[in-house]
Amino acid sequence: MLHSTWRGMFRRTALAAALGAVVTGLGVVAPVATSAAAAAGTLQQVTNFGSNPGNLAMYEYAPSGLAAGAPLVVALHGCTQSASDYHAHSGWQKFADQWGFAVVYPQTSSANNSLSCFSWFDSAKDARGKGEAASVKQMVDTAVAQYGSDRARVFVTGLSAGGGMTADLLADYPDVFAGGAVDSGLPAQCATTQTAASGCQYSAQNLTPKQWGDKVRNSYPGYTGPWPRVAVWQGSSDTTVAPVNGTELRDQWTDVWGIGQTASSTRTLTGGTTESVYDDSTGKAAVALFSVSGMAHGLAVNPGSGADQCGTTGTYYLNYICSSYHTAKFWGLDGSGGGGTGSLPAPSGLTVTGTTGTGASLSWNAVSGAASYNVYRGGSKVGSATSTAYTDTGLSAGTAYSYTVAAVDSSGAVGASSAAVTATTTGSAPACYTANNYQQVQAGRAHQSGGYTYANGSGQNMGLYNVAITHTLKETSTGYFVIADSGC
């Protein structure tokens, strides 16, 4: 399922039939967006997101009313799959709606690889500033400008070849991604040529944790910032990506973090899943290995209406456990900051009771056993309360903010977070300007180069420099404009 040179090998296995059967069943969303302004609540294609050296397509999803400062998740499909297929099956839409974040789905094609695999094994395409990796970085920059996303909370996940590319992206851009999740994938830079890829896929590489860690450190030499927090998902019966890859990924990222390979804690989850957590020096989970007993090659989903259920089954979408839920919790997308270990349930009934130009008031229902409550704005803790009400202050006028609340027990353990609510402060909203490209340039909101018009600040391509093309520009900060054709 990982690259075109294995076509002959697949024909000799049962996997070949599965791969051949799935190709015709995957739908592709038709291009509907001509700028970075996609309609909220639907999966849309975005064009003009950059020079796109990797020849990828960009799709995105954001819930209606998404607040500024929300997280951003990048999700990469597996071979023979598409962005729309991954969006439909993986469960990420449920949690984007519930916890308030946008999702970008890069899509490759048979023009790049005969099986539509991301090129995790090609050093000309998976390295920092090159090929597909550079295209994904351009997608991140476009989405961050469009949604006002929090650059400190950008995450990436992927399945199979998308998982291998996820590991490469985490190594290439630790300054971009705060965390990642590799589902049935390969360690970062395991292979740098197609001929070496099969060895990574099927067998142990017999490298030490330091040797694995060096592959990450050498991907961005001289980097001294924080490393991404990494979740690894691996089925014990995977014959396409050998289970040893999960162990090698664990070794790689624990070494990068400078921690040992002995788990800080282990617990049993649903679907025969064992979660092993490796804490950093502050006691916060830095790496987590989720081993799913009996699972073959694919993404773990668990259809249903429960809080911890998600997704739909299909080829390479296997009914064991909702991996997207546990990955989102590990990253802290539920508002817990990734540190919630308590058993208290999520508070219900979170409501916005009032807003001013600089503040927002909240209330919620009490949780039995709670000593206090943490309040999170955009996923970051902003305060605590011993009652079931809180007023957040110091906000900007005319701006939407996303809030969640979690109960804290007497020992200080933080429980599950509530569903998110959005509060919009009163007063003036960000200024928007609708005009043709010539007028936008004359007004100082855009500039022209080589016959094309670019928004000041974001640099988004607005098309030809003439009076025939009209756009709406939103000024998200002084002198920084983004295309906002779908609404401001």
Q: Catalytic positions, please?
A: 160
Q: Using the 8-state DSSP alphabet, how is residue 429 labeled?
A: P
The kind and range of the H/E element at 301 are strand 299-301
- The owner of tokens 């989903």 is 301
Torsion over CA: 377, 381, 387, 388 (sign): positive
Task: Mark out the alpha helices in 313-355 (DSSP H runs).
Answer: 323-331
Spatial separation of the C-alpha atoms in residues 353 and 461, rounded to whole Å:
41
- Do residues 354 and 363 lie in contact, with contact meaning Cβ atoms separated by under 8 Å? no
Which among 388, 291, 277 has a CA at the least distance from the CA of 339? 277
Contacts of residue 198, defined as CB under 8 A and 6 or more positions apart, other chains included, come to 5, 6, 9
CB 257 within 8 A of CB 286: yes
Quickly list H helices, 14-116: 14-23, 83-90, 92-99
Closest CA to 230 of 150, 163, 137: 163
Chain position carrying tokens 């944790």: 209
3-state SS, residue 95: helix
Three-state DSSP class for residue 269: strand
Angle between helices 161-172 and 131-147 (to 10 degrees): 80
For residue 484, CA distances in Å to 6, 324, 447, 463 come to 44, 30, 17, 14
Spatial separation of the C-alpha atoms in residues 122 and 192, rounded to whole Å: 5
Contact by Cβ (8 Å): 186, 198: no
Dihedral (C-alpha) 37, 39, 43, 47: value to the nearest 10 degrees? Answer: -20
Quote the CA–CA distance of 404 and 420 in Å, as a whole number: 5
Q: Do 59 and 44 touch, CB atoms closer than 8 A?
A: yes
Rounded CA-CA distance 160/91 in Å is 17
